[in-house]
Every structure is written in C-alpha cells, then in structure tokens.
Amino acid sequence: MSGAAPRSPLMALDEALQSLLARAVLLDGTETVGTFAADGRVLAQDVVSPLQVPPHDNSAMDGYAVRCADVREPGVVLQVTQRIAAGASGHALEPLAAARIFTGAPVPPDADAIVMQEDTETVNECEGGVRLLAVPAPGQWIRRAGEDVSRGAVVLAAGTRLSPASLGLAASVGAARITVRRRPRVALFSTGDELVMPGEVDPQDMRPGAIYNSNRFFLSALLHRLGCEVSDLGIVPDNRERTVAALKTAADHHDLILTSGGVSVGEEDHIKPAVQSLGSLDLWQIAIKPGKPFAYGRVGQAHFMGLPGNPVSSFITFQLLVRPFLLRLSGVTDVAIKSIASQAHFTWSRADKRREFLRVRRNAAGGLDLFPNQSSGVLTSTVWGDGVVDNPPGQAIAHGDTVRFIPMSEWLA
C-alpha cells in the first residue's frame, strides 16, 4: 500500500513574486491622452521639459526687491520706484531704490534680495518711501530661474505611474498631452455555490450556508484603482463545465483572468482541472498568513491567477502578488513593497512558521495597535486598520519592538 504523495514545501513570498514578475511581459500598445485624464496611467515615453522652471528669477514673498549694497544696517529708507506684480516685468533697479514686488513676480535686474513685507514699514507715503527693518542676505527670498526644472531635463521617466503631483509637474513644462501604456484588461469572476449577491436575497431569506459575495466588490474596486479595464463575469457555480465555459469566455481579449475561491484541492474546487484542460496551471502554496493557496497559469494568451476564497486572504494576496504583477505588465519599473520602521504597541506571542501580515492601525502616540481578531475571514480588520505589520516567519513581537509597517495607502494608491 503506497502512502500519500508528499506535500510540496511552502514557497517563500519573495520567490513567488519574482517568479510572477518574470512572467509579466510588458503589454503592447500605447495611447496619447490629455494630461487631465492621465491620473493613475503609466508613462510610455519620457516627459522632457522644453523650458526651465521657473522661467526667470522670481520673488518667493510679497515685499520689496532691493540691492544688498544699499542696506547695510536696519532702518535704511529707500525710495520705491516701481511696482511689480506676478505676470508683469520691471526695469533695472537704481541705487538707493526699491521695487514693490509680489510673490511670483520677476525680480528686476540689479536686485539681489527680497525683504519680506513683514520686515518693512511705509514712510513718507505720498513720496513712496519704505524703511527696511532687517538687513537682507544676498539671494534672500529669490527663487532662481531653473531651480525646479532645467531645459531638456526628463521630469517624468517612462515607467512612472502618474499621480496628481505628476500631472501638475507635466503641466508645468507645457505637456497638454502625454503618451501612456494601454490599460491591462482583466476578466474577474468568483466561484462558489455558497455565494449570493447583495440585493438579490434579503438577509433574513438567506439559505443555510450562503454568504454574500464580498470579494467581488473589493477586487473590482482594487482593479479599477490600478487603472484596469475590468470585465465582471459574476459568480460561477461549483460546476466543471460552467467553469470551463467561463474561462474560455474570459480568455478572449483579456490580459489576465482573476478568480477568487476554488483554488484548493477539494472535490468542489474546479478551477485547477478547468484551467489545466485549457492551458497550464501551477498551484502554489505560499508561506504567508493570511493566504496560502494561490494559482498561476495561462489560458490561451491570457494570464490566470486564482486567489483564496477567504476575504482577508484574498485581499492580502491580491496586494502582495496580483498588484505588482499588473503594475509590471503596465510598465511600472518600481513595484517593490515599501515599509516603515514603526513601534509595536502590542504583544504577539503566537509566532507562525509563515510570514504574517497583521492588521494594525497607528495610534495617537505614533505606535501601532493590533486588531484583536486576525482571522482570515474577518474583513472588519482591513477597514479598522490603516496598514499591516510585515512579520517574518517565527517572529514573536513584544510591546515596544520595532516592526515593518506597510501603510494601506501604499496599496490603495
């Protein structure tokens, strides 16, 4: 009598991620869009500045442009000979003269400092005099031409995922339209006879064993936040033929098929044989908690990824593996998970052999509090928390220990 086949060892998260990224071939196709519409898109071409920013020396303050040689000590009175607003231009500043100037206005020739308005007082108002109460240093409150951007500089490199600040920077160098990678096309569906959509059945009428499909909602939202074009194929029942049919439909015109549930090896888990019948599949056991079962394969030309069904496991696994994969498909160069050294204001004595992602939130003292229930089915923890602690395998945590904190904002941008 032969024994059961030995279980494959758990795969380290970093190994799994590197394996996925090696398969993430850059999507073909670009488009040129208006800068207003480019938030979250990935640049396909560098944005190069045709000018310097700012284009000229300008004042960083409301006040007076002066020559430092004329102001050797506090109390000096200068004659105000011109007034320069933003968008205007002045003439050369004569000795013993000052120019009334406003923030953003060009500094007149021969002026080498700005004295801010709070350090002055008006004298001989009808004759236009100003008393300077402070001695300026050369260059004080002057923003130099080109100090932000020099002409010919690459202000945004290809592979950058554009943020609101990026759009402002592109606009500051005159880029009304920019060339971006096309969006990844993702087909999404859930599997499970137990799943019910909110609104279809009232809570009091739910059949025994039924649950509302929460994964479909947060996965769809996460995909949209990543700029994907999402085809929601709904819920596929636990049936081999229906699963195969859904995969065939999803493989057409999509870059990725993403499912949740059905990636274990039970009799009602049909994803594995269905994908294998149409293409190829690797069923991985990832050494993370929450999460563990994860599937990667190909159906036709489409990538396939299967997430676990428990909602927190699905949420965390998406962030750790699917998100960087989609970003790399889109041409993003830096997909590394970034963490912040933070202090634990909790104790965690139940160290696991897997790498754990504990739901926490920052407190008023600057430390991290732990959600009391770290079960993979408690989706409340992902709403209560504003991040996770990335805890190494076998690592207990004592109150006051320094831990690696990943803000949720890092994942939801």
Which pLDDT band holds residue 67 (cuts at 50, 70, 90)? Answer: very high
Same domain, 227 and 245: yes
Spatial separation of the C-alpha atoms in residues 104 and 117, rounded to whole Å: 14
Instruction: At 213, list the tokens.
Output: 């499909």
Spatial separation of the C-alpha atoms in residues 201 and 181, rounded to whole Å: 41
Same domain, 192 and 280: yes
Q: Which domain holds residue 157?
A: 30-53+148-181
pLDDT for 345-387, tens place per residue?
999 999 899 999 999 999 999 999 999 999 998 999 999 999 9
Q: Is residue 278 part of a domain?
A: yes
Spatial separation of the C-alpha atoms in residues 189 and 244, rounded to whole Å: 12
Picking from 325, 329, 323, 363, the residue whose alpha carbon sits closest to that of residue 346 is: 363
Q: What one-letter code names the amino acid at 28?
A: D
Mean of the per-residue pLDDT values for the chain?
91
Average pLDDT, stretch 285-311?
92
Spatial separation of the C-alpha atoms in residues 324 and 204, rounded to whole Å: 40
Which pLDDT band holds residue 314 (cuts at 50, 70, 90)? Answer: very high
The domain boundary residue, chosen from 329, 349, 383: 329
pLDDT for 292 equals: 87
pLDDT for 1 equals: 43
Q: What one-letter code names the amino acid at 314?
A: S
Average pLDDT, stretch 214-240?
90
Spatial separation of the C-alpha atoms in residues 344 and 356, rounded to whole Å: 15
Residue 230 contacts residue 222 (beta carbons within 8 Å): no
Q: What one-letter code names the amino acid at 363?
A: N
pLDDT for 87-143, tens place per residue?
999 999 999 999 999 999 999 999 999 999 999 999 876 668 999 999 999 999 999
Spatial separation of the C-alpha atoms in residues 61 and 161, rounded to whole Å: 33
Same domain, 134 and 240: no
The domain boundary residue, chosen from 294, 329, 364: 329
Task: Give 355's strand partners.
Answer: 288
pLDDT for 146 equals: 92
Same domain, 187 and 296: yes
pLDDT for 247-297, tens place per residue?
998 998 999 999 987 666 554 467 888 899 999 998 889 999 999 889 999
What are the residues whose beta carbons fall under 8 Å from the beta carbon of 364, sequence distance 6 or more? none
Instruction: At 327, list the tokens.
Output: 């970003």
pLDDT for 236 equals: 81
pLDDT for 381 equals: 96
Q: What one-letter code names the amino acid at 181?
A: R
Instruction: At 200, list the tokens.
Output: 């279809």
Q: What is the model's pTM?
A: 0.84
Average pLDDT, stretch 75-83?
95
Average pLDDT, stretch 1-29?
83
* Three-class SS of 123-168: ECHHHCEEEECCCCCCCCCEECCCCCECCCCEEECCCCECCHHHHH
Alpha-carbon distances, residue 356 vs 9, 12, 263 (angstroms): 17, 12, 21
The domain boundary residue, chosen from 118, 143, 168: 143
- For the chain, the residue count is 413
pLDDT for 264 equals: 60
In degrees to the nearest 10, what's the CA dihedral of 193, 194, 197, 199? 120
pLDDT for 44-66, tens place per residue?
999 999 999 999 999 999 999 99
Average pLDDT, stretch 172-178?
96
Spatial separation of the C-alpha atoms in residues 30 and 41, rounded to whole Å: 11
Same domain, 122 and 88: yes
Same domain, 153 and 38: yes
Same domain, 49 and 177: yes
Same domain, 225 and 281: yes
69 burial via Cβ count (<10 Å: 0-12, 13-18, 19+) = exposed
Q: Is residue 251 part of a domain?
A: yes
Same domain, 62 and 49: no
Residue 175 contacts residue 47 (beta carbons within 8 Å): yes
Q: Is the pLDDT of residue 8 over 90?
A: no
Same domain, 203 and 280: yes
Picking from 318, 395, 361, the residue whose alpha carbon sits closest to that of residue 17 is: 318
